Chain A
Amino acid sequence: MTSVPPPPGSLLAARDLRKAYGPTLALDGAAFSIHPGEVVAVMGPSGSGKSTLLHCLAGIVPPDSGSITYAERELATMTDAERSALRRSEFGFVFQFGQLVPELTCVENVALPLRLNGTSRKAAEKAALGWMERLEVDDLKGKRPGEVSGGQGQRVAVARALVTEPRVLFADEPTGALDSLNGERVMELLTDAARSTNAAVVLVTHEARVAAYSDREIVVRDGKSRDMERAI
């Protein structure tokens, strides 16, 4: 099931991914592909390797073997610095928690990726405020992450992930720490915003109602992936 070449026109595609952490095999021949503007949910039981798949796809963790191509470039042949630059400019990230810098205000947090790319503080914070408006958290700009609620914090995190207008947005359990109402609102805003910029979204989740915001679903079990669209 894994040796099938990725469908043409994929923005990000992976084949035969293998990754071991010590004796545990986190990925065992997983495959993945996503088109621009597509939202793909990666589901599976905990410990199945879905987070590892996301880390590999995002170039955070190099796989032991297999290939990952992003916009026809092979990630394995890129240096760490090049991959970091790629993550800075082309990718965005939302995690479950622990991602906002507690000392910075919300708007500074959102502006951070732009500033890392060399944008001036003023321009970065202006753009940041624009995204915060779209995610309905612009009134929090001067507050620190410790002073806002979980749902608000997660929206700030989404704004931060989108502020560089990435081509791929990686979201790892973005609603994991939220109640269903907040979670749904975050998902709505996230997918709306991503679609408006034609960003692809890799959405790791174990919640079906979150996965229902996707266009397509991939299930990871024991390090192997299964494309549910083709299973039918």
Chain B
Amino acid sequence: MSARQWSRDLAMGARFACTGGREGWVRMLLTAVGVGLGVALLLLTTALPNVISARHDVEEARQDYNFATTIRPKADNTVLVGSTDTKWHTKDIRGRLLEPEGPRAPLPPGLSRFPAKGEMVVSPALKELLASDGAKLLRERLPYRITGTIGNSGLIGSQELAYYAGAEGMVPRAGGARVERLDAFGDPHPTTEKADPVLLMMTLVVFVVLLMPVAVFIAAAVRFGGERRDRRLAALRLVGSDSRMTRRIAAGEALAGALLGLVVGTAFFLAGRQVASSVEILGESVFPSYLNPSPALVALVAVAVPASAVLVTLFAMRGVVIEPLGVVRAAKQARRRLWWRLLLPLAGLAMLYPMVGNGRDSGNFNQYLVVGGVMLLLVGVTALLPWLVERVVARLGSGAVSWQLAVRRLQLSSGTAARMVNGIAVAVAGAIALQMLFAGVQSQYTKSTGRDPSRAQMEVDLSDHTQVALAGKEFKRTKGVRASVALSTGTFSGQRRDPDTSVGLTVGDCAALQELAHLPSCRDGDVFALSNPDASDTDYDAAMRAQLRPGRHVYIDPTYSDTRGREVSWTVPAGLQQAGARKDSLENISGLLVTPSALPAKAAPTLSRRVLVRLDESVRDAEEHVRNTAARLDPVADTYNWTAIEQSTKYTSLRTGLFVGAACVLALIGASLLVSQLEQLRERRKLLSSLVAFGTRRRTLGLSVLWQTAIPITLGLLLASTVGLTLGAVLLKMTATPVTVDWSSVLSMTGVGAAVVLAVTVLSLPPLLRLMRPDGLRTE
């Protein structure tokens, strides 16, 4: 047939969609909104790479660590930058102290001039936060006058909390310390890190898993109201169009909805882009200008969505015979065949199989095979589910009336039911696989910190000009603090320069030292030796012991080839006592434990010092009080909470992305389920009313609606779990990680899927009750 005929029929269908009266409009609007939601999500996804690179660019441009081992000399083009990052409850605040040292001192991006001492320039979000009622403690912590705002070029997101404050008299230190001297902002040696192949593969899989349900959803959305439309098409057959023409006209109607959906989706996206400036998801925010999808991907969406609308309609109508006097949905419909449905997932497995056992070390994964394999497996879910639903439902026995109504309905139209839950099944299958993958490789991206959060909850690392003992007392007096442990640590060695063996030195008062080891007794002036508790390296152990002998002459802070130390000479005291290791020691220490007065005064500046804080968790804002004290004592102090483990940030952000995406997708699918549910209910309005007339309880009908969704959903979730576990196992094997089933995530994902269905059923109950009012009989 000619292209002209095609376009004529499609155009006619599109015209029908637009001129179908109020009902036609409503149906087209539903389709458009459904497709629009999907398109908006697609556009958002296509914009993500741009977001990531835009944020990365800003991060690079404002980077202020130079990692140099020497301090560059002061000049008229240098600036001192002190890092004063802090937290407000769960939110990070990026803080910097700036001290220009000459007229040509470089400005960080987003600033037009340097703030004077006592002044600060803040991000809009921080300004707002500071002005809010609950931020009294934060205002105390940042006691600077706001004199300006940081421009967008200096922020990675609209909701980022950041400030630059003016300072005077900062002392720079080399080696990535808290105060640096710079002559330019920005990473001097931008590196292109080689992407971790496993992370890259996981990113790909996340994208596929998130986008597949969107595609499935769009496919379902173009069929909104399809059954009623089919009936109308019968009228077209009556006036003389042949069955192929009719199908093309139907496709044209879907096309019109999809095209309108593109417009709606673009509008949603643009609106969402504007809203983006005031939204924060899991601590991340962006500027609208970051959300620029790449043109090629936009073009792909613009072509693929309408094209798939046409294809899906033609495909969906292959089992429908439209006769002039009505739609025949083939009373004896051919039973769904299994073999070609099984081909899809098997082909997917076949594509993934060659990569099994690759792991991280054998170079990159073939991206096409990964994407193709995962897609085929997930598409397999949508192909297998209708077959599964049909088979199982045909065998379901009788039960209560509500059950009977639901089962019989499913037997008659299992395809519709399966279509409705396809999206959820795909999303859950993908999510289970990913959860499994994440749980499996988690250990590779998670390391133990060796800290015990039950012994101390916070640590304040002080800069070198702060009196640690004084600070310890200050923290002890701080509201919400039960105990503080002030410690200084350093190293010493028998050799002045480039020693083979250096030994740890921990200074603290008796109370503090007792947190670290079992001391026989303790008075100020005592010194204790603590042998390495896990002395597996006997050579090292012996070398260390030699340095711990009383009377031994040693140098505190020895010099290494590239870093000059102060080489403070000291003699290990005669009265050295042995200390016993404490299993729950606050720190993993070895070497000498020294009370303050036993240390030569000259050695004090060489030590790095910190205060560990035990909080009274019952005091509100205890952490904030600690941070305030830290900021008051030492603005560039590094305050952080103790956790038992920490994860790679890249890994964390990928995982965060998955959660955000899965939430969006499930919400979207939930919405579409609700729409089609309501559509179905409306079509049965008269029947519902007559059932009510002869005394059917509302509960019976409500339950039958629940069963009607619950049965296919249960099957869908079972299938999704199977496919998800298979896919997860294959992916784990590909990363050369032992396969373990993370049952909790399987349960939680299926639980989320089930919750969506329950929510949809609950939300469709009020309209159902309204439809069941006897007014429905009136139209007769």
Contact = CB atoms under 8 A, between A and B. Distances in A.
Do A's and B's CB atoms come within 8 Å in the complex? yes
By size class, the interface of chain A is 35 or more
A115 B401 contact: yes
Interface string B763-780: 000000000001101101
- Nearest first, the 7 closest Cβ-Cβ pairs linking A and B are A88-B695, A87-B695, A103-B408, A98-B686, A60-B774, A99-B690, A103-B409
B693 A173 contact: no
Interface stretch (A30-38, A89-97, A191-199, A221-229): A89-97
By size class, the interface of chain B is 20 to 34
A89 B775 CA distance: 22
Contact of A101 (B411, B687, B695, B774): B687
Contact of A58 (B693, B696, B700, B775): B693
Interface string B442-455: 00000000000000
B331 interface: yes
A95 B774 contact: no
A84 B697 contact: yes
A201 to B, nearest CB: 15
A178 interface: no
Given A89-B695, A102-B412, A103-B409, 12 more contacts: A61-B775, A85-B695, A87-B693, A96-B780, A101-B687, A104-B404, A104-B405, A108-B408, A112-B401, A144-B412, A146-B331, A172-B777
Contacts of A102: 412, 687
A61 B405 contact: no
Interface in B493-544: none
Contacts of B648: none
B694 A87 contact: yes
Contacts, number: 84
Tell which of B411, B692, B695, B774 has the most Cβ of chain A within 10 Å.
Answer: B695
Nearest to A90: B695
A166 to B, nearest CB: 9
B774 A61 contact: yes
Interface in B262-313: none
Interface in A149-177: 160-161, 172-173
A207 interface: no
Contact of B690 (A89, A95, A104, A108): A95
Tell which of A60, A95, A116 has the most Cβ of chain B within 10 Å.
Answer: A60
Interface in B694-733: 694-697, 700
B691 interface: yes
B367 interface: no
A61 B409 CA distance: 28
Contacts of B404: 104, 108, 115
Interface in B360-416: 398, 401, 404-405, 408-409, 411-412
Interface in A5-56: 21, 51-52, 55
A86 interface: yes
A85 B692 CA distance: 11
20 contacts: A55-B777, A58-B693, A81-B697, A87-B693, A93-B694, A95-B777, A98-B686, A98-B690, A101-B408, A101-B687, A102-B412, A103-B405, A104-B408, A108-B404, A116-B401, A116-B694, A116-B695, A116-B700, A144-B412, A160-B694
A91 B777 contact: no
Nearest to B773: A61
Contacts of B697: 81, 84, 116
A93 to B, nearest CB: 5
Contacts of B687: 98-99, 101-102
Contacts of A104: 404-405, 408
A92 B694 contact: yes
B401 A60 contact: no
A64 interface: no
Nearest to B698: A84
Nearest to A80: B698
A101 B405 contact: yes
Interface of B: 331, 398, 401, 404-405, 408-409, 411-412, 686-687, 690-697, 700, 774-775, 777-778, 780
Contact of B693 (A52, A85, A93): A93
A59 to B, nearest CB: 9
A113 B695 contact: yes
Contacts of B398: 121
Interface of A: 21, 51-52, 55, 58, 60-61, 81, 84-89, 91-93, 95-99, 101-105, 108, 112-113, 115-116, 121, 144, 146-147, 160-161, 172-173
Contacts of A173: 780
Tell which of B331, B412, B694 has the most Cβ of chain A within 10 Å.
Answer: B694
A95 B692 CA distance: 13
Given A99-B687, A121-B398, A147-B331, A84 B780 contact: no
A84 B693 CA distance: 8
B396 to A, nearest CB: 13
Contact of A60 (B331, B686, B777, B780): B777
Nearest to A125: B398
Nearest to B686: A98
Nearest to A147: B331
A70 to B, nearest CB: 14
Contacts of B777: 51, 55, 60, 95, 172
A61 B693 CA distance: 9
B312 to A, nearest CB: 26
Contact of B412 (A86, A99, A103, A116): A103
A208 B412 CA distance: 39
A84 B774 contact: no
A61 B695 CA distance: 12
A165 to B, nearest CB: 14
Contacts of B700: 116
Contacts of B774: 55, 60-61
Contacts of A88: 694-696
A118 B97 CA distance: 79
Contacts of A60: 692-693, 774, 777
A173 B775 CA distance: 17
Contacts of A87: 693-695
Nearest to A115: B401
A112 B402 CA distance: 10
B493 to A, nearest CB: 87
A172 B780 contact: yes
Contacts of B690: 93, 95, 98-99
Contacts of A81: 697
Nearest to A26: B778
Contacts of A91: 694-695
Given A93-B690, A99-B687, A103-B405, A116 B696 contact: yes
A161 B405 CA distance: 18
Contacts of B409: 103
A51 B331 CA distance: 35
A103 B695 contact: no
Nearest to A114: B401
Nearest to A172: B780
A30 to B, nearest CB: 16
B524 to A, nearest CB: 84
Contacts of A58: 693
Contacts of A55: 693, 774, 777
B335 to A, nearest CB: 18
A202 to B, nearest CB: 13
Contacts of A116: 401, 694-697, 700
Nearest to A96: B780
A16 B401 CA distance: 38
A82 B775 CA distance: 19
Contacts of A97: 780
Contact of B691 (A85, A89, A101, A121): A101
Contacts of A105: 408
A96 B690 CA distance: 11
Nearest to B700: A116
B778 A51 contact: yes
B502 to A, nearest CB: 82
Tell which of B411, B697, B700 has the most Cβ of chain A within 10 Å.
Answer: B697
B780 A113 contact: no
